[in-house]
Structure 1
Amino acid sequence: MSYQHILVPVDDSPISYAAVDHAITLAKLCNSEVTLVSVVSVDPYVGVDFYQVAPMITEHFMEAEASAKSRLQEIAQTFDREGITVQSKVFHGSPAEGIIHVADEVSADLIVMGSHGRTGVKKLVLGSVAQSVLTQSPIPVLVIKHQSS
C-alpha cells in the first residue's frame, strides 16, 4: 500500500519528534506529501470572569500560537531537506477534533502520531488524544508509542 498524503500532528514532546522521524521514512518510501499540524487547545476555563482573565488568556494563546508556528517551521525544514513536499497548519480547538478535521481538509490517507502511552488514572484524567483519533478517524492511524528507557 502506498500513501499519497500523510498527516503528522506535532507538539513539543519527544514522542512527537519520533513520529516525525517515522513520517519522514514513510514519505520517502511512498513519495508522499506531508502536512504537519499543531493544535492550539481552546480555553478549558468555562465560566470564569472573562474581563479579569481575558488579557492573560489572550497572551497565553498568542504565545502558544507563536510557539506552534515556530515548531512547525523548524520541523518543515527537516522534510524540505529530505526533498519531501510539506505544508503546515495550526488548528484551534480540541486536539483530536483538530487532527481529524485537518486530515479531512487536506485529504490525508494516513495519520502518523505519537502516543505517550499513559495508562490507568493518568489516561483517565489526561485523556488520550491518540485513542480518540484512533476511534474517530476514517483513515489509518500509525501510532508511535513512547519507549521507556
Structure 2
Amino acid sequence: MTSYKHILVPVDESPISYAAVEQALSLAKDLGCQVTVMSVIAVDPFVGVDFYKVAPAITDYFMQAEKNAKLRLQEILDSFQREGVQVDQKLAHGVSPSDGIMQIADEVGADLIIMGSHGRTGFKKMMLGSVAQNVLTQSPIPVLIVKV
C-alpha cells in the first residue's frame, strides 16, 4: 500500500465537502501525513455582463465569497490542529474549481486528493458538470471521492 504524505482536501459550502474533511482528518491521523485544505473562488459568473453596470455587485459578490471561504477554511484548520495534524490552507482565484484543485495539488506536492461528490447522474450531471469527475479525469495522483 502507498504511504501518503500530503493530502489535498478541496472544500466548498456543501455538507458533502465536510464529509471529505472528516475522511481526510481520519486518514491523516492514521498515516501521520500533512493536509492542505483549499477553496476556489470560481470564475466570474457574470462573464458577458456589461462590467460597468454591475461592477459594484461583482465586487461585493467576490469579497463576500472570499470572506466566507476564509472563514470556512479557518474552522477546518482549527479542527485539524486540535487533532495534532499538520495543516495548511490555500485559496485559488479566477479559475474553474477543477483547474484550481489541480493547480494547488501540483503547487503543494499532494499525493492524494480527498473530495466530496454530490453524486449527480444523467441529465443533472451533463447540465451542471461535475467537479469530481473533472478532477478524476485530469489528476495524475489518486483521488478518493466521498459520497454521503
Provide the C-alpha distance between the structure 1 equivalents of 2:63 and 2:46, rounded to a whole number of angstroms: 17
Matched, 1:72 2:79: no
| Counterpart for residue 41 of structure 1 | 42
Cα deviation code 1:19-50 (max 9, x no counterpart): 00000111011100000000111213322111
Aligned 1:80-99 pairs, distance under 5 A: 80-92=81-93, 93-99=95-101
| Counterpart for residue 18 of structure 1 | 19
Provide the C-alpha distance between the structure 2 equivalents of 1:106 and 1:39, rounded to a whole number of angstroms: 15
Provide the C-alpha distance between the structure 2 equivalents of 1:140 and 1:75, rounded to a whole number of angstroms: 22
Cα deviation code 1:94-138 (max 9, x no counterpart): 100000000000000000000000011111111000000000001
Q: For the aligned residues, what is the CA RMSD?
A: 0.7
The question of whether the paired residues in 1 share the 8 Å contact of 2:46 and 2:58 is answered with no
Which AA in structure 1 matches 2:85? I
Unaligned runs of 5+ in 1: none
**TM-score for the superposition, normalised by structure 1:** 0.96
Q: Report runs of 4+ in structure 1 exceeding 6 Å deviation.
A: none
| Counterpart for residue 131 of structure 2 | 129
Unaligned runs of 5+ in 2: none
Paired residues, what number? 146
Provide the C-alpha distance between the structure 2 equivalents of 1:69 and 1:46, rounded to a whole number of angstroms: 24
Which AA in structure 1 matches 2:98? A
| Counterpart for residue 7 of structure 2 | 6
